[in-house]
Amino acid sequence: MSLPVSTSILASFATLKTLNDAKQYNSSYQILSEFVSYIIATKSIFAFTAEEMKGHLFTVFGFDIPEAVVRTTCRGISYVERAGHRFVVDKGRLLENPLFLDLKETAEAKNSSIIEQLIEYCRERLPDKTLSVDVLSRDLIAFLVEDQQSTSGQFSSIISEFVLKHETDSQFQADLSNIREGSILYLGLNYNINETGSLTKPLTLFLGTEVLFSLLGLNGEIHQKLAQDMYTQIRNANSGEKKIDLRFFPDVKREIDAFYSAAEAIVEGKEISFDTVAMKAIINGCELASDVRVRKADFFHRLQFQYGILEDSYDDYYSEENNKYNLESIEHKDEQEQDGWKYVSHVNKRRKGQIFRVDTDSEYLVVTNASNILRASKAQTEIDKRTRELEYSSDYAVSVDRITNILWYKLGYGFGKCDYPTNVNAVLKARIILASNISQNVTKVFALAREQYSKGEISDEQLASRIITLRKKPILPEELAADSIDDSLDFSEEFISRYEEKVRLTESALKEKDDEIERIKEEAKRNIAQKEQSLSTIQQEHKQDILKKDTTIAEKDVLIQQKDIQNRILEEELAKYHERDAEKERKRNKRRNICFFSLSILWKVVILAVIGLLAYYWGHKSGSDV
């Protein structure tokens, strides 16, 4: 449901905050009951359902409150009675709250003035642009109500300029702070945080790379302050029994390793890049790659022993058992989109596909400022709500600001006199948005200048001047100043040309330009040398490949010759073996023939002897002289 465009919406958040400050409340339901009472009185409602009241809250105040919260709130109002599925109002006991009416009217007057000033500022700054007051109002609401990562509005940059220009106007900033502080109280209602106090279930927070860098100060002071605000809430939640564990995925460990490896390459002169804030923080003061490695070891040491943040030991994300919980898809073709869904899928696997209604009860949650992960989380949450028919479903990933505010509210600080988190500061958010826009433009212009230089479209002097110009742009939120914001945001060709002229006229700038030209030439020489070395390496490798092939062929020839010799030896031995067998067979046949001949003579002699004996015996018996 999108917010309706109305100045009264901003007043609603301011009223929520000032009402909470003016009167002590024990729960979010008591605060919301004041808004429900106002609706009942002004609209002369005698009976309503929770769903109808939910609609009224959205129409009148812009509050998109879960129906369950509305129902519980109405049950606590003394003059409202439950009658089946409806609530009935006892008009005789209805009393208007003059404090609420006064706060609401005051807030509406102040916020009308803010929007009028913003419209006038935009018309002066963008005279040629068609201005949509509705869109501008909607973007202002998003700027003041949403967290630091909500920078996608059409007018978010110009709104940030407007806020920064009024940095010294204390009353103006107080009015903006009331709206942002009220949005945190609204957060508890919107997230259906029914009970405040300590956490009831263990929660593991997986921190993104940029969050770890911010916590240790590598992304500047402001981002470090916001990350440490988050850590303060986590430490408060763990003050009794430890409920929150801080971890980072093995994928994040690989990202950090790659980042420090790139830093080593830059220090060694093997790689040239337009350094990011974190990269500058790492390589400044490093003369050797070993210095970078020392800083890397110190980084992980501080994470573990100063903040208790460890690498997650779970490594079964792609096991067969977890396939049914996988949310990654080949439809996510963009690399950043794939990375976003990868972390959302990891969380779903750790939750075993279970859907939770409250973030603080969700067991596992990613904390990141990376827009691709936050978008994937929001998309999957909407799918969960639609498929399960839920009014609210827990996130898979939240920003640093969001988890800070949720924990701050959950721990019950919204109903006391505790200071609000640092992120409610509207100027701070404006600085973050503008610094992010400047950083993105610096990267684009730098890449374009390098491309033009490589094509010969600009000279060494022009490239050097543009690099110097870009390096002077403030890319840290704390570096931005209201009086110079126009120049900081100017990336036009005219601005670049003006600085090139300044370089020619200023001695110090000229020396800086000459140094930059020398660096560019050295880089070009280094690139040529690297290419020549690469070519030489390729040629040498080619020669070595040919030599290896020749050697292999020669070795194969030797092997063939050896095999021929072995074959001849085997054939000779086989012939000798056959000859020996033939000789043995001849001798065997000879012996057999002799035996047969001897036996043939012997049996004949025996037969003659027998015949002779028989003849002698017969003649002796008969007296014959045969």
Torsion sign (Cα): 440, 444, 447, 450: negative
Q: Do the beta carbons of residue 141 and residue 10 sit within 8 Å?
A: yes
Helix (H) or strand (E) holding 395: none
Q: What is the residue type of 417?
A: K
b (16+ CB within 10 A) / e for 250-281: eebeebbeebbebbbebbeeeeeeebbbbbeb
The yes-or-no verdict on residue 333 having pLDDT over 80 is no
Proportion of the chain above pLDDT 70, given as a percent:
85
Rounded CA separation 169/584 (Å) = 124
Rounded CA separation 221/235 (Å) = 20
Q: Structure tokens of 89?
A: 């109002």
Helix (H, G, I), strand (E, B) or coil at 166: coil
Rounded CA separation 40/88 (Å) = 11
Q: Structure tokens of 425?
A: 């500061």
What pLDDT score does 1 carry? 39
The yes-or-no verdict on residue 510 having pLDDT over 60 is no
What pLDDT score does 5 carry? 46
| Average pLDDT of the residues in 224-247 | 92
Q: How much is the mean pLDDT over the chain?
A: 83
What pLDDT score does 592 carry? 79
Provide the pLDDT confidence category of residue 295 given band limits of 50, 70 and 90.
very high
Q: Structure tokens of 150?
A: 């909500």
- Per-residue pLDDT of 92-126, as tens digits, reads 887 777 888 888 888 888 888 888 899 999 988 88
Among 148-152, 528-532, 609-613, top mean pLDDT goes to: 609-613
Q: Do the beta carbons of residue 387 and residue 350 sit within 8 Å?
A: no
Strands 309-311, 244-248: pairing is parallel
The yes-or-no verdict on residue 204 having pLDDT over 90 is yes
- Per-residue pLDDT of 603-618, as tens digits, reads 888 888 888 888 777 7
Helix (H, G, I), strand (E, B) or coil at 228: helix
Residue for token pair 């419209």 = 119
Residue for token pair 């609210």 = 392
Q: Do the beta carbons of residue 164 and residue 480 sit within 8 Å?
A: yes
The yes-or-no verdict on residue 3 having pLDDT over 50 is no
Q: Do the beta carbons of residue 395 and residue 375 sit within 8 Å?
A: no
Q: In the 3-class helix/strand/coil scheme, how is 182-223 assigned residue by residue?
A: HHHHHHHHHCCCCCCCCCCCCEEEEECHHHHHHHCCCCCHHH
Q: Do the beta carbons of residue 202 and residue 33 sit within 8 Å?
A: no
Provide the pLDDT confidence category of residue 517 given band limits of 50, 70 and 90.
low
The yes-or-no verdict on residue 542 having pLDDT over 70 is no
Other C-beta atoms closer than 10 Å to the C-beta of 346 total 26
Query: Which one has a higher pLDDT value, 518 or 326?
Result: 326
Query: Which one has a higher pLDDT value, 301 or 196?
Result: 301
Beta bridge partners of residue 397, listed in sequence order: 366
| Average pLDDT of the residues in 402-415 | 83
Torsion sign (Cα): 247, 251, 252, 258: positive
Strands 80-83, 86-89: pairing is antiparallel
Q: Do the beta carbons of residue 260 and residue 296 sit within 8 Å?
A: yes
Other C-beta atoms closer than 10 Å to the C-beta of 220 total 20
Q: Kindly report which listed range (154-158, 261-265, 464-468, 525-529) carries the lowest average pLDDT score.
A: 525-529
Residue for token pair 């390496």 = 537
- List all residues 6 or more positions away from 13 whose beta carbon is below 8 Å from its beta carbon: 144, 145, 178, 179, 180, 182, 183, 186
Range list of H helices, 268-356 = 277-283, 289-307, 335-350
Helix (H, G, I), strand (E, B) or coil at 86: strand
- Per-residue pLDDT of 274-292, as tens digits, reads 567 899 899 999 989 999 9
Q: Do the beta carbons of residue 206 and residue 248 sit within 8 Å?
A: yes
What pLDDT score does 16 carry? 84
Helix (H, G, I), strand (E, B) or coil at 309: strand
What pLDDT score does 520 carry? 63
Q: What is the residue type of 556?
A: K
Q: What is the residue type of 388?
A: R
Query: Phi/psi at 141 (nearest 5 deg)?
Result: -60, -45
The yes-or-no verdict on residue 2 having pLDDT over 50 is no
Q: In the 3-class helix/strand/coil scheme, how is 482-531 assigned residue by residue?
A: HHHHHHHHCCCHHHHHHHHHHHHHCHHHHHHHHHHHHHHHHHHHHHHHHH
Cα distances from 64 to residues 71, 146, 432, in angstroms, run: 14, 14, 27
DSSP state for residue 88 in the 8-state scheme = E
- Vertex 518 angle, CA 516 and 521, to 5°: 110
Q: Whose CA is closest to 115, among 15, 5, 18, 19?
A: 5
Residue for token pair 């403030």 = 474
Cα distances from 588 to residues 224, 577, 585, in angstroms, run: 105, 16, 5
What pLDDT score does 223 carry? 93
| Average pLDDT of the residues in 549-562 | 70
Rounded CA separation 62/11 (Å) = 10
| Average pLDDT of the residues in 428-432 | 90
pTM: 0.76
Give the chain's end-to-end CA distance (angstroms, integer): 151
The yes-or-no verdict on residue 421 having pLDDT over 50 is yes
Helices and strands (H and E) in the chain: how many:
21, 8
What pLDDT score does 603 carry? 81
Rounded CA separation 513/375 (Å) = 42
Query: Which one has a higher pLDDT value, 204 or 589?
Result: 204
- For the chain, what is the radius of gyration of the CA atoms? 44
- Per-residue pLDDT of 350-377, as tens digits, reads 999 999 988 888 999 999 999 899 999 9
Dihedral-angle region of residue 576 (phi above 0 means left; psi in -120 to 50 means alpha; beta otherwise): alpha
What pLDDT score does 272 carry? 63
